[in-house]
């Protein structure tokens, strides 16, 4: 169990939680026709406005990349840097950990470097960045800008990456390695992922419509989201709390979930068990809900297997929020955790944007439009390639 003292998110719907709340309440998608420089694919994307103009301060120039610019933009929202400074003053910089998730790190910068090779086939001087061309670049960058010197880890388990950061933080804190952690996820758009998913025939040329009978693929997005988590302290209540988590790997196929949803079921059941919850305690689930035919079908099968309460007078509400932001890959776990926390704060279960003709063959009914709803207990699912699955359980004080 962890206290979530503060959180922030920057995505296609805007910078900071204020923009996120407004977008959720207005049911306003941040998706746009693909306008990423150098990409000619006919699709929609969740591009963050302002990254191109958000240059890194001179002292951090060695970290120059789209991904680190996005992290820097997000860290400046909602007082996040100031709250981390407060934690440093309280615990000491060496007693705070950094655990981030990403799937591609700064690969867009690497793509750029290869396009600009010199006459000898070598990187130009400005691209010789050992702290950028590696998967741990987000962790190195955030540690540098925050002044945190405790243990640092970057997790890369595809789309579950930044959900797993909560589990790692809990284990580190319980074992006394640290007293607090900056957890987060950062992933930015790049040609490798866009053309890679297109090669898998998973990209939709329309705004994605999870759980709609006409769904035909995903829209990729980018995001950076962070939270500051600590051990619960007697007499002090944080706004939200991580109650439990579940992790699994079904190892069924590199890119296809187990057809019976075994890994997803195991992750959800573990999350409930670790939180001391029963299925009927859950008010809302933010589904992984990518918009592909197989993933959406299998996830509802798994949800029905775990909850089994679709026929109750007040069943658990479930939806996908990727119609707002696109699929942000390694940042999705943290971004959708923040969305879930904001839904709890607002008392609104988000609908599934663009799901206008709900697929009635699915095993569990999905919420299509926003619905006022008291959410005391919520789950958030993140399921990735290679069968890497994670489910998080969140609650408010007193739960």
Enzyme catalytic residues: 159, 288, 327
Laid out side by side, the sheet with 44-46 consists of 32-33, 44-46, 220-221
| 175 CB burial (10 A radius; 0-12, 13-18, 19+) | exposed
Q: What is the DSSP string of 107-124?
A: HHHHHHHHHT--TTS---
**Residue environment code for 66-99, b if the CB has 16+ CB neighbours within 10 A, otherwise e:** bbbbbbbbbbbbbebbebbeebbeebebebbbbb
List of residues 6+ apart from 223 with CB closer than 8 A: 9, 10, 11, 12, 46, 48, 70, 74, 185, 186, 187, 325, 328, 331, 332, 334, 335
Residue with tokens 């109750």: 312
CA distance 215 to 4: 35
Q: Cα separations (Å) of 341 from 309, 333, 365?
A: 23, 12, 22
Token readout for 255 is: 């890119």
Sign of the alpha-carbon torsion through 135, 141, 142, 143: positive
Nearest to 392 by CA among 351, 335, 350, 345: 335
State the DSSP H helix or E strand holding residue 235, giving kind and residue range, or none if neither.
none
| 374 CB burial (10 A radius; 0-12, 13-18, 19+) | exposed
Yes or no: say if 282 and 377 are a contact pair by the CB < 8 Å rule: yes
In angstroms, what is the C-alpha Rg of the chain?
20
């Amino acid at each position: 169990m962890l206290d979530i003292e503060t959180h922030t998110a920057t995505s296609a719907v805007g910078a900071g939680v204020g923009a996120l709340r407004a977008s959720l309440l207005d049911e306003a998608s941040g998706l746009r026709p693909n306008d990423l420089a150098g990409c000619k694919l006919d699709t929609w994307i969740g591009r963050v406005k302002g990254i191109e103009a958000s240059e890194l301060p001179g002292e951090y120039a060695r970290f120059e990349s789209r991904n680190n610019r996005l992290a820097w933009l997000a860290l400046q929202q909602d007082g996040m840097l100031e709250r981390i400074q407060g934690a440093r003053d309280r615990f000491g910089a060496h007693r705070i950990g950094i655990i981030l998730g990403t799937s591609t790190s700064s690969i867009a910068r690497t793509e750029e470097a290869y396009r600009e090779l010199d006459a000898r086939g070598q990187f130009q001087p400005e691209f010789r960045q050992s702290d950028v061309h590696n998967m741990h670049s987000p962790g190195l960058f955030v540690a540098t800008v925050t002044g945190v010197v405790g243990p640092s880890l970057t997790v890369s388990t595809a789309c579950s990456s930044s959900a797993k950061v909560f589990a790692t933080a809990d284990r580190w804190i319980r074992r006394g390695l640290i007293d607090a952690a900056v957890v987060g996820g950062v992933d930015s758009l790049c040609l490798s992922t866009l053309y890679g998913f297109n090669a898998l025939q998973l990209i939709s040329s329309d705004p994605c419509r999870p759980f709609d009978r006409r769904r035909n693929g995903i829209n990729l997005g980018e995001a950076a989201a962070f939270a500051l988590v600590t051990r619960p302290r007697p007499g002090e209540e944080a706004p939200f709390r991580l109650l439990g988590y579940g992790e699994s790997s079904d190892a069924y196929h590199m890119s296809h979930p187990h057809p019976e949803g075994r890994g997803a079921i195991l992750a959800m059941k573990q999350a409930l068990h670790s939180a001391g919850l029963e299925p009927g305690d859950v008010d809302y689930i933010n589904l992984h809900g990518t918009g592909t035919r197989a993933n959406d079908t299998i996830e509802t099968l798994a949800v029905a297997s775990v909850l089994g309460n679709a026929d109750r007078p007040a069943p658990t509400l479930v939806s996908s929020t990727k119609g707002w932001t696109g699929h942000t890959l390694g940042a999705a776990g943290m971004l959708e955790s923040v969305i879930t926390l904001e839904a709890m704060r607002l008392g609104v279960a988000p609908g599934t944007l663009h799901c206008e003709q709900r697929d009635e063959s699915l095993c569990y009914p999905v919420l299509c439009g926003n619905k006022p709803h008291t959410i005391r207990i919520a789950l958030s699912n993140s399921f990735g390639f290679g069968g890497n699955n994670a489910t998080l359980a969140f609650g408010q004080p007193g739960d």
